[in-house]
Amino acid sequence: MASHRRPKQPSRARVTVLTATAAAAVALTSQTAQAAPSAKPTKDEVKSKVDKLYQDAEKATEKYNGAKEKQGKLEKEIGTLQDKVARGQDEVNELRAGLGSLASAQYRSGGIDPSLQLFLSADPDSYLDKASTLEQLSGKQVEALRTIQEKQRSLAQQRQEAGDKLKDLADTRSELGKKKGEVQGKLAQAQKLLNSLTAAEKAALEEEEKRASRASERTALKAQEEPAPKKSAGTEAKSGGSAAAAKPVSGRATSAYAAGQSKIGSPYVYGASGPSSFDCSGFTSWSFAQANQTIPRTSQAQAQIGTRINSQSDLQVGDLVFFYSDLHHVGFYAGNGQILHSPRTGAVVRYESINNMPYMFGVRV
């Protein structure tokens, strides 16, 4: 006979424990999923991100260089104005002392001219309009008063100009600090990414850079040893800048390029302009300085000098070459599609393919 006994129901306490255990398991699974680390970026992904950060840092570096150059100019201009004001005030003081001597002589001879007395005790700039019309002033006194008035007006203008430049200098220093912070921030981000690589990955990246640099150096040096192919007149006429192509590179540009070659292996440092470290425009401006030629400090300003050369086929060794739409990078053309430049933080002055960056145009100095 079959048993019809009802199955035993779990106790309320047992149900509560099971439910709590299940809930805890679900929560633990959820937390584990949330805490699971994201996939570590590959060496190539890190390199791509670091290259972008270095490019952003270089943009900020050229703006930093521009602000630094402006600061230097303003400091010189302010110094010149302050010297002028000081000399002008000395001249005014001497003229006033002369009038004081004249007043003393008049007093000893029987009294001081009332108009001169009024001048010596009041602002001559506001007084002259009245005093110059008085008959009792001699021609010599009027001339002296006019000279003082003109000098005081000039002093007032110079003081105002110096004040304006001081305000501009304060703004420039503020901008300089911001750009410096921006550069340092980008470099810190890049370094953090590089630190995430293993020792083997870092070594692999360094070897890739060295290998590419050696290959570019061999290509550039080979091009300089071989005679450049001659262009026909028709070819030059078709190129985008025949006048620029017909003009040879100057002796100073050749000397500047040679000076740049002597610095191969020097490290890139933002804001540096030699002699042991450089940023991109610091490298080119230092190189030209060795050839006794001064060029602007920033890449954007350097792009405005000399003769522009649009076509890469018209470039000659020693020409300046500019990259990116905002012209934030500059180097020397080294021949055979290679450039010599100071690339970025973590790199050194070296040869590199001109096609590694978006070429804009060249300039023949």
Catalytic positions: 280, 329, 341
**What separation, in Å, do the N-terminal and C-terminal C-alpha atoms of the chain show?**
114
Q: How many CA within 13 A on the CB side of residue 187?
A: 18
Distance CA 70, CA 176 (A): 10
**Residue given tokens 């078709």 in the structure block:** 238
Strand order in the sheet with 307-309: 307-309, 359-364, 320-323, 329-335, 338-341, 350-353
How would you class 307 by CB atoms within 10 Å of its CB: exposed for 0-12, middle for 13-18, buried for 19 or more? middle
Distance CA 121, CA 5 (A): 127
Q: Is the Cβ–Cβ distance between 300 and 310 less than 8 Å? A: no
- Give the other-Cβ count within 10 Å of 175's Cβ: 17
Q: E strands within the chain? A: 307-309, 320-323, 329-335, 338-341, 350-353, 359-364
